[in-house]
Chains A and B, each alone.
Chain A
Amino acid sequence: MIFGQILVNWLLLSSLYAAVAVGFSLVWGIMNIVNLAHGAFIIVGAYIAFWMYTQLHIDPYVGIPLTMAALFTIGWLVQYVAINRVIRAPLLVTFLFTFGLNLLITDLVQQIFSSDLRSINTTYTGNGFDIGSIHIAFDSLITATIAISLTVALSYFLSRTRTGNAILATGMDRDAARLMGINIGRIYALTFGIGAALAGAAGAMFAELYPFNPSEGGAFTLRAFVIVVLGGLGTPWSAIAGGLAFGFAETVIPLLPGVGSGYDDAIAFAVLVAVLVFKPNGLLGKAFYS
């Protein structure tokens, strides 16, 4: 049944997209930074997974905690050393800064790993099981499970722990949070680190699912942006909602008569403009931070 297969593909793709966007959404919501280096972090995560698999024979899914730790360190340092210094500058400056960072990271990855297309082929790559006529690949299913678990974990962390509450408070009102004794610089570094770590996890999972090369980062950033616009800022759940909406557009639009494949970025962009023109604050739209 083709319809059931489309449904399953949509859900599996959406969960990967939720993982791509959840860190981006956190950083944007809490700090009002649109992190254009998010795609580059995802690519770094993918290459770390690739390197660990080829050199150390660590399975990409098992290696996710290590990938996340590495990306957390990078993100924490970037925020602590650089972005904290320009956080009060006009929006254009942080925007430009993260784009510069994106170029720098992408280029470094390219110098180290070359721009060849890479992929990870584990023993279970390409295998799956069938329910009726619907085929489900193992790696897609594991990805979906991990993506949803990470979102749940982030949500729990933000709402139930003291540090998580401090992050939310800083997002709501920076100055009030400082008066309550929260160290803003550290909270920002932590938030950016978590955002980068989630990007790393998404990158590792992407590396298992699809072939990749360093130039793919820009497409991820654009997608993450569209997903956040669709789902709205605010909670980790809105990334899942945005992922579902965007995954739907990307699964269904190429199936329409007269469209065909090859227009991935154009679809992402058309969805973005269509939503923004009618709902400038996103579909579920209210700005968490303003």
Chain B
Amino acid sequence: MATDLHQSVVASPPPEKIKERREWLWSLLIGLAILVAIATIPAYGDASLLHTWTLIVMYVVLAQSWNFIGGYAGYAAFGNVTFFGIGAYTVGLLVLAGLPFWVGLIAGGVIAGMFALLLGLPVLRLRGQYFAVATLGTAEALREFVEVKDIGGRGGGLMSLPLPSLDAYPFLFYAFIMLSLLCLLITVVLTQSKFGYALIAIRENEQVAQALGIHTYWYKVGAFVLSAVPTALAGGLYAYWATGFDPGTVFDRGISIEMVLLTFLGGSGTILGPIIGGILFETASFQFQTSGLNLHNTLLGLSIVLVTIILPQGLIRFIQEFTRRSTPGLTPANRFMEGLRRVRRFIAANGI
């Protein structure tokens, strides 16, 4: 896959195109560097550090997969935790039935993909707020269903798996890293493909995209399925990692919103946005948690309020704006001032 991409760069002669295409290459390299750096964490042998970072990488994966439908297609999916819960409960039920873990994991991905397809067919006909609330409602309804039907079998949907706690072992941590890497590669390929361009066209103006002959409906359904599958895989890994969970945890609408916030914080519709946003926010959140303050939701709410008002375009675009090549022949000091001026204009255009 990587050689293919490389060849396409070499084969394109016009210079401005090469420059444009370098952006994704840089994003890919930085993304890889970040993931490799995180992958060294088990070497420290600190169990609580590993615990924290397993969850951080999990949230990064969730944000990366939300980015497909929310960031690129611009559809406000506020119920993606549905797929997380489906993944978790599929793994739970199949492991309880005596099947190996990886069978459950794959089954969870497949079932969530099919669920996204079936759900997407009606709800992706809706626009804007209607779509958002329909997805939000799906998650709530499914949580209630699992709770009332007691799918987990321990009362109120609680599920506990007869597994050794793998909490301190690096195996699942690496699995999350691989999943994040996979999402990174998919995102990069997406930005260079017809599929990705179609999604961006839908985000920018769906009617125009339709008029240009793009089958917007099927592209949207595709993006929805694409964001459902990695979310379900993350849910399956979480189930194995936590070994016990209830509907309130794996269908928590807070997780849906966290995916959105993390993506927005970094920059929705960018390659690196979900990774950077995820790492920044979750590190801060866990820092608060370890210092004994139970302020996760307050912090989440406050961050959402601040990010939407001040920086709805995200950090990545903010940095890009600051470092964009300025007019040639400026002294470094002038170039810096130019950057500052641009940033001020950028903030003025998007928020306060």
Is A151 interfacial (CB-CB < 8 Å)? no
What 1/0 flags go to B207-220 for Cβ under 8 Å of A? 00000000000000
> Does the CB pair A272–B134 fall under 8 Å?
yes
> Does the CB pair B137–A100 fall under 8 Å?
no
> Does the CB pair A97–B137 fall under 8 Å?
no
Is B303 interfacial (CB-CB < 8 Å)? yes
> Does the CB pair B133–A264 fall under 8 Å?
no
Q: Using CB atoms, name the residue of chain A closest to B297.
A: A107
> Does the CB pair A107–B304 fall under 8 Å?
no
> Does the CB pair A34–B145 fall under 8 Å?
no
Is B167 interfacial (CB-CB < 8 Å)? no
Is B141 interfacial (CB-CB < 8 Å)? yes
Q: Using CB atoms, name the residue of chain B closest to A110.
A: B297
Is B202 interfacial (CB-CB < 8 Å)? no
Is A280 interfacial (CB-CB < 8 Å)? yes
> Does the CB pair B125–A96 fall under 8 Å?
no
Is A153 interfacial (CB-CB < 8 Å)? no
Partner of A96, one of B137, B143, B261, B351: B261
Residues of chain B within 8 A (CB-CB) of A246 are none
Partner of B304, one of A28, A100, A266, A280: A100
> Does the CB pair B141–A266 fall under 8 Å?
yes
> Does the CB pair A107–B264 fall under 8 Å?
no
> Does the CB pair B352–A263 fall under 8 Å?
no
> Does the CB pair A262–B301 fall under 8 Å?
no
Is A92 interfacial (CB-CB < 8 Å)? yes
Residues of chain A within 8 A (CB-CB) of B128 are 91
> Does the CB pair A97–B305 fall under 8 Å?
yes
Number of residues of chain B lying within 8 A (CB) of chain A: 45
Q: Give A89 to B264 CA distance when docked, in angstroms.
A: 13
Closest Cβ–Cβ distance, residue B71 to chain A (whole Å): 10
What 1/0 flags go to B296-313 for Cβ under 8 Å of A? 011011111100110010
> Does the CB pair A104–B309 fall under 8 Å?
no
> Does the CB pair A104–B312 fall under 8 Å?
no
> Does the CB pair B138–A269 fall under 8 Å?
yes
Is A57 interfacial (CB-CB < 8 Å)? no
> Does the CB pair A97–B309 fall under 8 Å?
yes
Closest Cβ–Cβ distance, residue A262 to chain B (whole Å): 5
Q: A103-B297, A264-B144, A276-B123 known; 7 other A-B pairs, CB under 8 Å?
A: A89-B308, A90-B312, A94-B308, A97-B309, A100-B303, A222-B136, A277-B122
Show 8 A/B contacts (Cβ-Cβ < 8 Å), sorted by A.
Answer: A97-B308, A100-B257, A107-B295, A107-B298, A269-B141, A272-B133, A273-B122, A280-B127
